[in-house]
Structure 1
């Protein structure tokens, strides 16, 4: 799923709409006039917002193209989540595609019952509460999926900070340990390999001739796997 705006990030982290509006106003003021023109409380408030965004958005830096050339000879897993609402713990669909060498050897695609009934993104991915009401929770599902990551050298995702954040939030909510593998962002892969702009998933798939049903988690994950493979020495890069 696409990376949300900083405002969405803060709302998902539990900030109120009033605090998000205040942060945006103070951020704009600071950018225009400088922090010296803010009082101490305003600077502290901005600092809290800045720190929250750094924490939310932090994810391992993508490996270089040279690194991908080496890693693709081993094993990696492409991952995609769809979420129900603005909370990072609201995963309602997950797909994992395991690649060994240059071949897909395993596909997993499941609906997930999120912790809330509210669905804000049905128009994007087509999933609604009645479809997931009897689905397993992330806590029930993840233990059987985690084996898909055994031996994988990295996890690939498009806008990896989003999917990494969803995985962390879901694991935290379920009191499970998140996987140790670093994330590789296929947005950065596409920019490094082919100098593409824009680099939304449909744009990259169009450039590479990859099939895509955007916001279908399995199709998105397969596309991410295809991007990594295409960036290697046997691909078009």
Structure 2
């Protein structure tokens, strides 16, 4: 396929990062166009019925929802990232959805209004990561040595913990060796690294600080 591709983005959106990672893994040229989700332009709402990022414009035709975008790219661009076996492919799709659910829990964590809620959400995250630890292979990536779309989903998720861990120890990721090894591999993957701007940690921290949440107050504590 040879088409003009424009990825409509937001600088912090983990769902945008999924699509950017898949595009990079496939070596596809594309333009990235950021929008301000707090002040959505009319042209964006015309191509994004849900008012969310990402949107992939393919010769002007809009595809929205990150999983759909990733599937479309895997159907039309080599190399294939999904497994060829239908059952294994379905399993990968299920863990992509698991990643989306985990992102919702992470949002509840950084939006928690008080310390009790923050602790409870950290516990929910820990439970999800323990489930993930239990199914990880001994290879470098989710299913072994082959980078797949599940890896593209979790690279942006682990990026949150790089910032959370610098704020405090919330007990979410410690003592999970396979997850730690996988997280390290993804952090060093060029496609994952290039999916955000170099100032991403600072921008995410500023976003968290502005939430007025229990985590915001943790950030404001004097360094010990």
- TM-score normalised by structure 1 residue count: 0.27
- Structure (1 or 2) with the greater strand fraction: 1
- Structure (1 or 2) with the greater helix fraction: 2
Larger Rg: 1
